[in-house]
A and B are shown apart, each in its own frame.
Chain A
Amino acid sequence: GDSVTQMEGPVTLSEEAFLTINCTYTATGYPSLFWYVQYPGEGLQLLLKATKADDKGSNKGFEATYRKETTSFHLEKGSVQVSDSAVYFCALGRSNTGKLIFGQGTTLQVKP
């Protein structure tokens, strides 16, 4: 069945450092891929998405490219801020279903 695997956290970075959070998936066909962010005490917010191979999703300086050949959707940001500290979830979704398959989440801590 479908599954999503993320790199384990926590990831601790200094402000302005480069961020990569790895995400790989197992699925047949062509699912959509998402990154969600969860700030402390809050629900999940959609950060970015890509619906087909080679699409690049981007938002707030974050980017991720849908790589079908490597079944990956790694999240990157060139210069992180303290306000980026949160838990990041990679997810997979299919047409004709409301089900999202989430990775286990990666906690990012950015220190000033």
Chain B
Amino acid sequence: NAGVMQNPRHLVRRRGQEARLRCSPMKGHSHVYWYRQLPEEGLKFMVYLQKENIIDESGMPKERFSAEFPKEGPSILRIQQVVRGDSAAYFCASSREEVRNTEAFFGQGTRLTVV
């Protein structure tokens, strides 16, 4: 059973471009979470999705950021018009149930660098 797969592992974008980060959850997992890790900081929650639904987006910046988890295919975190401050590691996690009752498995992350 493959783990949580994120791609790309490393992404370089120029200011103003769009960044698309992909996350394929573990087989059988329908709960997906995105976190951002800024340099020298812990992970900050961004958004929690179930298939085709956004459950909690309280950690998402109001502008330029969006996330989806379609019925088929991976979850996508999209950052439009990237700025230097978006440079960070973005981690995706998935779980079979709500995270309190079961383990959330993390991917290896996508390291975004905005130049």
- Chain A residues at the B interface, C-beta cutoff of 8 Å: 4, 6, 31-32, 36, 41-46, 49, 51, 89, 93-105
Question: Separation in Å of the A102 CB from the closest CB of chain B?
Answer: 4
Interface residues in B4-19 by Cβ distance below 8 A to A read: 4, 6
List 9 A–B pairs whose Cβ atoms lie within 8 Å, in order of A's numbering.
Answer: A43-B106, A49-B103, A89-B42, A95-B98, A97-B98, A98-B33, A98-B56, A98-B95, A99-B59
- Chain B residues at the A interface, C-beta cutoff of 8 Å: 4, 6, 31, 33, 35, 40-45, 48, 55-56, 58-59, 91, 93, 95, 98-101, 103-109
A49-B102 Cα distance, complex, nearest whole Å? 10
Residue of A nearest to B108 (CB): A43
Question: Separation in Å of the A35 CB from the closest CB of chain B?
Answer: 12
A36-B98 Cα distance, complex, nearest whole Å? 17
Residue of B nearest to A4 (CB): B42
A103-B44 Cα distance, complex, nearest whole Å? 9
Q: Which B residues touch A41, using CB under 8 A?
A: 108
A32-B106 Cα distance, complex, nearest whole Å? 18
A43-B4, A43-B6, A95-B100 given. 4 additional CB < 8 A pairs? Answer: A44-B43, A46-B104, A93-B100, A99-B58
